[in-house]
């Protein structure tokens, strides 16, 4: 795979990472942005998309997903390349002052500067808490569906009670050789219509539902053969299975960011308040991931940090360049970068 050259790599596409594209773009600096999630928006999109936010300046109320959509619209003119489903695992500073960046999926970058906008960390699927499960991850135990055909014709057990668990149950019932849904209680977080449909399939004998939790795996010669489930009566049910799918939601983990040699205090990266730079020159951190005296984990704080970090990044990338503040209202060069024409009479 070829190495992608770029001025800046932004790690994390939450609201602050997205706004960083904008602030860099105004200064004529191009970025690639990466997120381990499959979509942009960080906590806003993942944890509370439907909730209103009341403290975004000049927007008396704004839905969390709406904020993400508005930010995506605002950064469009700057043509940042967005890579979703890519966790950044490697970050190294080279002797020439540039950075090598690598993702778990094998993407490689040669970047002039880095902004870490990693929030509370990279969202990871909560794992099936039974002994030995790690060894089968990606071969017989899965936490997301990449190719549905992988599960066709299999003896499949699905764990979970949210929309993902129910949606895949409905999709794969009839295509799997056998399908059992296991959820720890009779109440579901999933859409009631999906739950009703699942109960219909159970009544029609097309699948099983067990109220219970996974206890242990059955294996033979390094191959997963089944899973033992403790049901709500306390009995152990041995389910033959050659594929398990578990949807227990996502939890953030600081993950690889903790291994990049950066100064960390209480799970956050220490930065100064002039540049929002970490202890490694050229690596900046904005949003919930950073800490400094008086830090407040608010979106508007992250927006301010992104603006100042952009100027500092410009100085890092182009040390000789004169810096001056221009208003988006009146600057012809910013209008050009924004792709807008000057207002009539302006």
Ligand X SMILES: Cc1cc2nc3c(=O)[nH]c(=O)nc-3n(C[C@H](O)[C@H](O)[C@H](O)COP(=O)(O)OP(=O)(O)OC[C@H]3O[C@@H](n4cnc5c(N)ncnc54)[C@H](O)[C@@H]3O)c2cc1C
Task: Say which DSSP state 86 is in.
Answer: -
Task: Say which DSSP state 255 is in.
Answer: G
**Among 229, 225, 237, residue whose Cα is nearest residue 155:** 225
Of 75 and 117, which has the nearer Cβ to ligand X? 117
* Whole-number Å distance between alpha carbons of 43 and 306: 17
| Contacts of ligand X in 119-158 (CB under 6 A) | 119-123
Can residue 255 be called a binding residue for ligand X (CB under 6 A)? yes
List 26, 67, 87, 207, residue binding ligand X (CB under 6 A) = 87
Q: How far is CA 333 from CA 27, 29, 318, 323, 330, in A?
A: 9, 13, 18, 14, 9
Q: Which stretch binds ligand X (CB under 6 A): 118-126, 135-143, 178-186, 204-212?
A: 118-126
Of 169 and 290, which has the nearer Cβ to ligand X? 290
Of 198 and 308, which has the nearer Cβ to ligand X? 308
Looking at beta carbons, which residue is closest to ligand X?
A: 119
**Could you tell me the smallest distance in angstroms from the CB atom of residue 36 to ligand X?**
4
| Contacts of ligand X in 280-299 (CB under 6 A) | 287-289, 297-299
Of 267 and 337, which has the nearer Cβ to ligand X? 267
| Contacts of ligand X in 26-85 (CB under 6 A) | 34-37, 42-44, 47-48, 53, 55
| Contacts of ligand X in 153-212 (CB under 6 A) | none
The rounded Cα 82 to chain-centroid distance in angstroms is 12
* Cβ neighbours, 10 Å, residue 170: 20
List 8, 9, 10, 11, residue binding ligand X (CB under 6 A) = 11
* Whole-number Å distance between alpha carbons of 148 and 156: 12
* Whole-number Å distance between alpha carbons of 291 and 279: 12
**Could you tell me the smallest distance in angstroms from the CB atom of residue 179 to ligand X?**
30
What phi and psi values does residue 328 have, to the nearest 5 degrees? -65, -25
**Could you tell me the smallest distance in angstroms from the CB atom of residue 247 to ligand X?**
17
Of 23 and 35, which has the nearer Cβ to ligand X? 35
The rounded Cα 295 to chain-centroid distance in angstroms is 23
Of 145 and 300, which has the nearer Cβ to ligand X? 300
* Cβ neighbours, 10 Å, residue 85: 15
Buried b (16+ CB within 10 A) or exposed e, 37-63: beebbbbbbbeeeeeebeebeeeeebb
* Whole-number Å distance between alpha carbons of 212 and 200: 20
**Could you tell me the smallest distance in angstroms from the CB atom of residue 46 to ligand X?**
7
Q: Which stretch binds ligand X (CB under 6 A): 7-15, 65-73, 203-211, 272-280?
A: 7-15
Of 118 and 282, which has the nearer Cβ to ligand X? 118
* Whole-number Å distance between alpha carbons of 346 and 341: 10
Three-class SS state of 194: helix
* Contact set with ligand X (CB under 6 A): 11-17, 34-37, 42-44, 47-48, 53, 55, 87-88, 117-123, 255-257, 287-289, 297-300, 302
């Amino acid at each position: 795979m070829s190495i992608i050259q770029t001025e800046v790599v932004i790690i994390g596409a939450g609201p602050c990472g997205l706004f960083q594209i904008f602030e860099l773009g105004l200064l004529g600096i191009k970025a690639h942005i990466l997120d381990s999630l499959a979509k942009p928006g960080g906590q806003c999109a993942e944890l509370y998309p439907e909730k209103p936010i009341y403290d975004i300046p000049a927007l008396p109320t704004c839905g969390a997903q709406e904020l993400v959509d508005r930010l995506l619209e605002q950064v469009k003119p700057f043509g940042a390349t967005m890579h979703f489903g890519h966790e950044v695992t490697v970050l190294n500073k080279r002797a020439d002052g540039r950075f090598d960046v690598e993702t778990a999926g094998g993407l490689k970058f040669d970047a002039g500067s880095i902004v870490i906008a990693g929030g509370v960390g990279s969202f990871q699927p909560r794992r099936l808490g039974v002994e030995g499960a790690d060894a089968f991850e990606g071969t017989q135990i899965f936490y997301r569906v990449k190719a549905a055909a992988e599960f066709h014709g299999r003896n499949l057990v699905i764990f979970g009670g949210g929309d993902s668990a129910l949606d895949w149950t409905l999709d794969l019932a009839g295509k799997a050789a056998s399908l059992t849904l296991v959820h720890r209680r009779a109440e579901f977080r999933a859409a009631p219509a999906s739950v009703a449909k699942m109960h219909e399939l159970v009544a029609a004998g097309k699948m099983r539902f067990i109220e219970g939790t996974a206890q242990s795996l059955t294996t033979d010669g390094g191959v997963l053969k089944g899973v033992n489930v403790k049901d709500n009566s306390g009995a152990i049910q041995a389910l033959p299975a050659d594929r398990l799918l578990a949807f227990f939601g996502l939890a953030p983990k600081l993950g690889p960011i903790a291994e990049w040699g950066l100064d960390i205090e209480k799970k956050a990266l220490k930065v100064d308040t002039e540049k929002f730079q970490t202890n490694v020159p050229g690596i900046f951190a904005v949003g919930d991931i950073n800490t400094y005296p008086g830090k407040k984990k608010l979106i508007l704080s992250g927006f301010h940090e992104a603006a100042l970090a952009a100027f500092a990044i410009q100085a890092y990338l182009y040390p000789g360049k004169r810096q001056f503040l221009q208003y988006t209202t009146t600057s012809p060069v910013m209008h050009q970068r924004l792709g807008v024409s000057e207002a009539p009479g302006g």
